[in-house]
Structure 1
Amino acid sequence: MIIYQRSAGPGGPGCGGCLLIIALLLLLVGGAPLLFNVFGFVLLTLVILVLAGLLAFWGFAYYVRRQIRRYEESQTESHNQFVFLLVQILVKIAQLDGTVTRAETAAISDFFRMQLRYGHQQLLWVKQLIKEAMASSLTLDDLLLDFRRRFGYEPRLILLELIYRVLYTNETVSEGELIVLQRIADFLQIHPYDHQSIRARYQNRSWGTATAGESREAAYYQTLGLEPGADFETIKAAYRNLSKQYHPDKVNHLGEEFSRVAEEKMKDINEAYQYLKKLKGQQ
């Protein structure tokens, strides 16, 4: 409902009127010299304030660049390239609908802060990478192709795992986003049962608290990338294969934070294997 409001009554003379009154008073009291002295002082003060602001801005920008440079130099080239491509890919996924909102860029930063435990210095770097990615003309296919050329199979699995983590920080994941995830997995040449193992962890996030034994059992099969009811030899083979792929030593060159991702994945794989092993009556 549009409510009529009375217009405001006449106010004071405003800023321009105030300045005119002050100028007239200065002329009356001290003439033109006093007027020029006062306004000259005011103008000089404004110039100094502007220069001080520019200097502070330059100093802060220099501090940020220096912090970023120090962090980059402390990491391996593989680590820096991995994070660069990860951020670029996440931004390109966000851009698929035609725009990137502040909430989406904040979600990417929050992911690095909360999931990968990045500190202040690291987050400055990530925010700079996001800014560069926003202005980049590279396509998602360009980035995925470059990633596939640079990194082996295990880092590709970690990349897909991290993309799932970011998207599933939202309450819901759209059908379009699921299609993009499948496209990424195919482009990175991820084996279907490896993709199933990753997907299961996020599409069945509530299985850990499930009371139904069948739901829990099905989720453990999915964690190993298997269909429910697989025999023990198949389970053991899947476990051994995933254990090799997600062994932290395979991704040590990517950095400590990504080794932790592999360790967390290994924990899930071990838990699923031990449950199914016991279910099959194996010691």
Structure 2
Amino acid sequence: MIRWIAAILGYTFFRFPGAILGFLLGSLLDNLTSKRTGGGSFQQVFQQQRRDHVSPADFELNLLSLASLVIKADGTVNQSELDYVRQYFVQAYGTERANATFRVFNDVIKKRQISASNICTLLRSRTRYESRLQILHFLFSIANADGHVSDREVQEIHRISGFLGVQHPDFESIKAMFFKNPDRAYKILEIDPSASINEIKAAYRTMAKKYHPDKLQHMDEAYQQGAEEKFRKVQEAYEQLQKERGF
């Protein structure tokens, strides 16, 4: 049932972009908490799960919560960003099932503060590092859905990255995939522009291994496609430096 609620949020974002975005997630979290714990906190809900595991349904709900923070980061709710989130869940669950669930709880509204710190603390302790890297890529993809990643969106994603325990070079690598600048290829490969050819080759092998899509076989198809995109950016960065440095 929670998994259905997660899909509903995607529809709600799409249908009520202004009023509901800041309220619906909190209301659903309240409802889920009430059913599972008899009125305990959102954090207490997850404390009842295995310490080394977060269920797919709860992962998706948390992912949508983080997405909402990025969407609101620059003070505007952009339709293309809402559409991106909705399309992700349609792709993940199928149009028929998604549309059926979108109609169930589309009028549940209650204000509640979404805590990136609490959510990320949970995800950090119960998800693999490569999964958290893909979360960052997903959040940057949302921010870039309108063709531009704003400074405020970068700041919000950077804040989330810190809560998730993502190392700064990895954050900068994924960020560079969404910006064009002279040092982009080096940033993606996490090396300095003064790196030798051997260092570039070694960095490519390291990054190709780190971002290989096979590391996300445990996640849904939509996420695996995002991993493939990230992997292609690493390959493109390496090929660019091969041409520039002549090796």
TM range (shorter): 0.5 to 0.7
By how many angstroms is 1:195 displaced? 1.3
TM-score by length of 1: 0.58
Deviates more, 1:139-148 or 1:238-247: 238-247
Give yes or no for contact 1:193–1:226 (8 Å, CA) kept in 2.
no
Q: Please, which of 184, 192, 195 is the counterpart of residue 171 of structure 2?
A: 195
1:34 paired residue number: none
Unaligned runs of 5+ in 1: 1-64, 72-76, 208-214
Percent identical among aligned pairs is 26
1:263 paired residue number: 228
2:87 paired residue number: 113
Whether 1:87 aligns to 2:64 is: yes
Deviation readout 1:163-196 (Å, 9 max, x if unpaired): 0110122344433322222212222222222111
By how many angstroms is 1:139 displaced? 1.0
Distance in 2, Cα, partners of 1:200 & 1:155: 18
AA aligned to 1:163 is: L
Q: Please, which of 150, 162, 167 is the counterpart of residue 174 of structure 1?
A: 150
Deviation readout 1:119-150 (Å, 9 max, x if unpaired): 42236557879988975554111111111111
Higher relative contact order (CA 8 A, sep 6+): 2
**1:249/1:192 CA distance change after superposition, 3 Å:** same
Distance in 2, Cα, partners of 1:87 & 1:129: 16
The equivalences for 1:70-81 within 5 A come to 78-81=55-58
The equivalences for 1:114-263 within 5 A come to 117-118=91-92, 119-120=94-95, 121-122=97-98, 137-204=113-180, 215=182, 218-263=183-228
AA aligned to 2:200 is: I
**1:220/1:255 CA distance change after superposition, 3 Å:** same
Give yes or no for contact 1:197–1:222 (8 Å, CA) kept in 2.
yes
1:23 paired residue number: none
**1:150/1:235 CA distance change after superposition, 3 Å:** same
2:46 paired residue number: none
Distance in 2, Cα, partners of 1:134 & 1:236: 53
AA aligned to 2:66 is: I
Larger Rg: 1
Higher helix proportion: 1
The equivalences for 1:33-52 within 5 A come to none
Distance in 2, Cα, partners of 1:87 & 1:133: 16
Give yes or no for contact 2:217–2:224 (8 Å, CA) kept in 1.
yes
Give yes or no for contact 1:196–1:222 (8 Å, CA) kept in 2.
yes
By how many angstroms is 1:281 displaced? 3.6
By how many angstroms is 1:160 displaced? 0.4
Unaligned runs of 5+ in 2: 8-53
Tell me the secondary structure at the aligned position of residue 225 of structure 1.
coil
Corresponding pairs, count: 199
Distance in 2, Cα, partners of 1:78 & 1:251: 16
**1:93/1:270 CA distance change after superposition, 3 Å:** closer
AA aligned to 1:258 is: Y
Give yes or no for contact 1:223–1:269 (8 Å, CA) kept in 2.
yes
RMSD: 3.7
**1:137/1:181 CA distance change after superposition, 3 Å:** closer
TM-score by length of 2: 0.65
**1:139/1:130 CA distance change after superposition, 3 Å:** farther
Distance in 1, Cα, partners of 2:105 & 2:227: 24
